[in-house]
Amino acid sequence: MNKIFRLIVAFIIIVTMLQGCFVTETTTKQIAVSPDKKYVAIAQVYDGGATTDYAPMVYIRHNPNYKEWWYPESETEKVFSAYHTDEIGVRWISENELEIYCKCRADYMVGRYWGIDITHKAISLNKALQSTQKTRD
């Protein structure tokens, strides 16, 4: 009886521990609408659980709130991905320039999409905003 009880307890502990390995989550860190309101940049972080490191990603899609008769259906395209950090941010510089801020090395990046020039800066968004503020002063 004591041996069976120990096996059951061990089984429950192992199953409980393994559940944490398979829990995944995607967190949206930032959503930024382009100055002309046509596009939306979405910065997200994928957390693969105990066995996989963070993976920051940026997607661009047509803004579903922008209404023009010729405007295409909203489709989402990944334009950036990296690993090993849960910090990522985006900033529209102009209608056709998007900057991605992530203290990491890009694993995948599209330099131009839908006429939008995309650049990556290996600094945090907060640091970029601080440097922009200093140049304005």
CA-closest candidate to residue 120, choices 92, 99, 105: 99
Cα(113)–Cα(100) distance, rounded to whole angstroms?
Answer: 14
Q: Which helix (H) or strand (E) holds 116?
A: strand 116-121
39 touches 93 (CB < 8 A): no
Cα(19)–Cα(52) distance, rounded to whole angstroms?
Answer: 14
**Tens digits of pLDDT across the chain (137 residues):** 577 767 666 666 665 555 555 566 778 889 999 998 888 999 988 887 666 678 888 999 887 776 654 555 567 788 898 888 888 899 999 999 999 998 888 888 888 888 899 998 887 666 666 655 454 44
